[in-house]
Structure 1
Amino acid sequence: IEDITGGKVLLRIISNLADKRIVKAWTKVPPTSIGGEEVVDRIVYAWAFAASDPYRAATHNKGIMNGIVAVALATGQDTRAIEAGAHAYACKDGRYKPLTIWQKDENGYLDGYIEVPLAVGTVGGSIRSNPMARLALKILGVSTAKELAEVMASVGLAQNLAALKALSTEGIQKGHMKLHARQLALAAGASPNEVDKVVELMLKEGVFTLEKAKEALSRVRST
C-alpha cells in the first residue's frame, strides 16, 4: 500500500463494518398463526414507528441483536465486532434505521425481511480451542461461515417478530413476570413437575416474592 500510494501505513487493522458480507433472510407469516389480521397490522405499525424514530429503532435493533449475539456467543464469534458492524450498517443511509422490514402483503400475510452484515467463521483459533463452540456448530448442522451467518440472521428476524408481537399485544412484562415466577418457584424448592403449577398460582394472584412462591408450593403439595 505504501508503494502504491507513496504514503505511510499507520493502522494495521480491518473494519468491523463488513458491508461486503451482507446476509439476508425472509419470512412469510400467515395471520392465523400469530393472532389474526389485527396483530399483523399492529406489528407493521410497530415497525413503522421504528422506521421513523431512531430512539425506537435503537431498541428495535437491540432486540434483533439479542438473537444474533446469542448464536454468536454459543459458536465462539466476536460479539462486539458483530454488534458494532450491525449498528453502523443501520446508519448506512445517513440516519439510524431498523435492520428489518415488516409489511402486510395483498393476501394479509406478514412479510418479514432482515439485512445485516455478519463476518463470522466456523474455523480458526478461538473455535478450534473451544469445544463448546464446536459442539454448537455441530448442533446447528452448519459447516461454512455462510451457513452460520444465515442461521444467525434468521434467528435475529425470528427474535424481532417475537418482540414486536409481544410489545404490540400483551406486552413483554407478562413474559418477564412469568419467567421471574419460574425462577422464584425453583428457588422455593419446586421440582420440575411442580414448577408450572406454582407459576400458575403466582400469576393468578399477581404477587411475585419468594414467600409467595413457598406458599404456592405448599398449596400445590397439599392437593
Structure 2
Amino acid sequence: MKKENQKKLKWLGFQKKERIERIQMLKDNGYLTDEFEQILKKNENLSLETANQITENNIATFSLPMGIAPNFLIDGKEYAVPMITEEPSVIAAASYAAKIVAKCGGFKTTVLDRKMIGEIALYDIIDFERAKNLILKNEDKILEMANEAYPSIVKRGGGAVCLEIKKLEEFLVVYLTVDVKEAMGANILNTMLEGIKPLLEELTNSTALMGILSNYATKSLVTATCEIDSKLLGGIHVAKKISLASKFAKIDTYRAATHNKGIFNGIDAVVIATGNDWRGIEAAGHAFAAKNRKYEGLTTWIFDEKIGKLKGELTLPMPVASVGGSIGLNPSVAAAFNILKKPNAIELAKIIVSVGLAQNLAAIKALVTTGIQKGHMKLQARTLALFSGAKDCEVDLVVNRILEKKIIINSENIKKILKEIRNIYKKNYT
C-alpha cells in the first residue's frame, strides 16, 4: 500500500509548479540526467548556426511550448511524455486520460511490423505479364543491387527484404520493402530505389516515371489497447456514450475528420518533440483512416456490459525514428529522448500510439459529458489575457475574475477585466 501511495504522490501538484520546479520533479522521479536538466533550465534550443545548415534561406528559429504529460503506463513501464503544442488543454487532457488508464493496468501495445515501403512506377510497357515475370525472376539480383546502394544499413542488420508488383492502369508498380532499423528510412529507400531503377528499365524495356519512398507505411503498424472500468469514467452511461461516439466517427466523415484531428493533437505533439516527421506521420494516418474506401474515425471504443469495462483500440502506421534527421541536432529533442529514457524506434512508436488513444479518450469523454469548451475555457482565457497585454503576475488574476463572473471569454471582456484589476491596484498602492 505504501508503494502505491508513493506512486500516486510523485506527480502531486506538477501542473501548479513553476517551470524550474517541474524540471526538478522530472529529475527527482528519474526521468532526467544532470546534462539535460541544465539544457532545459537554460532553455537551449536549435542554434541559428545549425538552423542555417538544415534549411534554406534561414532567417531565424521558431519556438513552441514544450510540456510534459505524466502518468503514462505502457506495457508495464511508466513514462513522462514530452509534448510540443501550442493548443490549450492537449497536454492536460492526455495526462488526465493516462491517469485513468494507468489505474486499470495501463496501455498494452503490439508492433505488427517495422519496415518501410518504396515504389517505382514503370510505364511504356508492351507486355505487362512478361515484364512482371522478368522482375520476379531477377528478384534476388534486384534486392542485392538495392543493398549495394546503401551498404551501411545491411551492416546494421537491415536492408532490402522483398518485392511486390502491381499493375495500376498503364503503370507497372514495383514496391520495395526494406528493414530500416532505427531510421525513418526516407534516405535509405530513395537511394535504393535510384539504384535499382536502371535495372528495372532494362529488364522490362520500359521507362521509370519515378522512384520514391511511400509515407503510407502499412508495414510499420502499431496497435495500442486499453480497458477502463466504467466507474472511473463516471458510470455506465458515459462508457456507452463513448462507445456510441466511436461508432458515429466510423460512419460520418464530417465527425471522423475532427475525431482524427483530436488524435493527432497528441500524436503530433510527441512526434515533433522527438524530432520526427509529423507531416509524414499525419499523411500515413489519414490514408489509413480511408483504408476501407471511406474516411473513418481511427479509434474503436466498445463497452463490454458483462464486465463493465470500456475497451479502446488504435492502430496506426508509425514509422518514427530514434536516429537521423534533427534528432541529434536539436538540444530540446535530445532532452525529450532523455526524458523518455532513450527509447528505440519501436518503443517510441508504442508510446506515440498510446498517447493518441489517450488523447482521443479525453476528447470523447469531454464531448459526451460536459462538452469540449469547459476544459478549454481556463487555458483560452490565459491565452487571451497574454494577448491583451497582461503581465505574468496579472494573468491568474484576470483568468480567475472572468471565470468567477461567468461571462463570455473574448478579447473585449478580458481587456475590461484587466483594466478593472489595474484600477484596483492603483487605488490601493498609490
Q: Same fold (TM over 0.5)?
A: yes
Aligned CA RMSD, in angstroms, stands at 2.3
Aligned length: 220
Within-5 A mapping of 1:112-191: 112-184=312-384, 187-189=389-391, 191=393
Contact 2:398 2:417 in 1 (8 A): no
TM-score computed with the length of structure 1 as normaliser:
0.89
Q: 1:218 to 1:180 in 2, by over 3 A?
A: farther
From 182, 191, 202, the equivalent of 2:402 is 202
Report the Cα offset of residue 38 of structure 1.
1.5
Separation in 2, partners of 1:37, 1:218: 50
Q: Runs (4+) of structure 1 moved beyond 6 Å? A: 217-220
Q: Which has the higher contact order (CA 8 A, sep 6+)?
A: 1
Contact 1:202 1:213 in 2 (8 A): no
Partner amino acid, structure 2, of 1:191: C
Q: 1:99 to 1:217 in 2, by over 3 A?
A: farther
Partner amino acid, structure 2, of 1:2: E
Unaligned runs of 5+ in 1: none
Structure number with greater Rg is: 2
Q: Which residue of 2 aligns with 1:29?
A: 228
Contact 2:273 2:332 in 1 (8 A): yes
Is 2:299 the partner of 1:100?
A: yes
> Deviations 1:51-84 (Å, cap 9, x if unpaired)?
1111111111111011100101111111111111
Contact 1:185 1:214 in 2 (8 A): no
Unaligned runs of 5+ in 2: 1-199
Separation in 1, partners of 2:289, 2:405: 43
Contact 1:202 1:216 in 2 (8 A): no
Contact 1:21 1:119 in 2 (8 A): yes
From 201, 218, 221, the equivalent of 1:2 is 201
Contact 2:226 2:313 in 1 (8 A): yes
TM-score computed with the length of structure 2 as normaliser:
0.48
Separation in 2, partners of 1:217, 1:168: 39
Q: Comparing 89-98 with 137-146, which one deviates more in the overlay?
A: 137-146
Report the Cα offset of residue 215 of structure 1.
3.1
Is 2:268 the partner of 1:69?
A: yes
Partner amino acid, structure 2, of 1:181: A
Report the Cα offset of residue 148 of structure 1.
0.7
> Deviations 1:181-216 (Å, cap 9, x if unpaired)?
233555533539x82x65333212123312214535
Percent identity over paired residues: 47
Q: Which residue of 2 aligns with 1:86?
A: 285
Contact 2:215 2:284 in 1 (8 A): yes
Separation in 2, partners of 1:189, 1:179: 16
Report the Cα offset of residue 144 of structure 1.
0.8
